Amino acid sequence: MFTVYGMADSGNCYKVKLALEQLGKPYRWVEVDSTRGETRSKEFLARNPNGKVPTLQLEDGTYLPESNAILYYLAEGTPLLPADKLGRARALQWMFFEQYSHEPYIAVARSILRYQPAESPRRAELPRLHERGNQALAVMEQHLSRSPFFAGTGYSVADIALFAYTHVAADGGFELKRYPAVSAWLARVGAQPKHVPLG
């Protein structure tokens, strides 16, 4: 059985939970609270020297970190990853887009508003995070106005990766109603079989 070291409120950890549920793979969840420094303990750093959740422990005891590498590992050979070479590259294209051009703005804005006190100086970062996050949402809107999903012809791990923080973007101060194609895609993803909520 897999073991997920994760934090229930983290979108990156939710990606792994959603994929495991939809693939029908049994797993054990070990809650690790990064907001209380639990990812920086000596014990946790032995599992992932980069000190981040999620980290997946495979059945043989091996640890695999990085949410989107975990998604790819779980999805290989299943309907959650396109079966053709270009389709797999497209899934990765959007997963790298998510980690570089989307998560550092949309997830970080959510984190500041959700976990930092109202008087935190980090609130000064919000205008830039909103500008960049809205750029990412506009790129998604353009793609989704022509395609129902991100990679290949159906629902894949690229959709899971981008759904994780997009569907809670309002927590970070983003207005999803400005993006009708993104909003319709969120509903399509939420209606997939065996979908489970964040948390």
23 binds a second copy (CB under 8 A): no
C-alpha pair distances (Å), 109 with each of 101, 132, 151: 13, 11, 26
Backbone angles phi, psi at 69, to 5 degrees: -70, -40
**Closest distance of CB 175 from a second copy, Å:** 20
Among 3, 143, 181, 192, binds a second copy (CB under 8 A): 143
**Cβ(65)–Cβ(4) below 8 Å:** no
**Closest distance of CB 12 from a second copy, Å:** 10
181 binds a second copy (CB under 8 A): no
Of the candidates 132, 185, 162, which has an alpha carbon nearest to the alpha carbon of residue 11?
162
Structural tokens at position 194: 């065996």
147 binds a second copy (CB under 8 A): no
96 binds a second copy (CB under 8 A): yes
State the Cα angle at 53 between 50 and 57, rounded to 5°: 95
In the complex with a second copy, which residue's Cβ is closer, 2 or 192?
A: 2
* Among the residue ranges 84-92, 162-170, 176-184, 186-194, the one whose residues contact a second copy (CB under 8 A): 84-92
In the complex with a second copy, which residue's Cβ is closer, 69 or 196?
A: 69
Among 37, 41, 49, 175, binds a second copy (CB under 8 A): 49
125 binds a second copy (CB under 8 A): no
188 binds a second copy (CB under 8 A): no
Burial (CB < 10 A; 0-12, 13-18, 19+), residue 65, is: middle
In the complex with a second copy, which residue's Cβ is closer, 86 or 184?
A: 86
Backbone angles phi, psi at 4, to 5 degrees: -105, 120
**Closest distance of CB 191 from a second copy, Å:** 26
Single-letter code of the amino acid located at 93: Q
**Cβ(190)–Cβ(164) below 8 Å:** no
70 binds a second copy (CB under 8 A): yes
Q: What is the helix, strand, coil percentage profile of the chain, to 5?
A: 60, 10, 35
90 binds a second copy (CB under 8 A): yes
Which residues sit at the interface with a second copy, rule CB under 8 A? 49-50, 52, 58, 62, 64-70, 72-73, 76, 85-86, 88-90, 92-93, 95-97, 99-101, 103-104, 139, 142-143
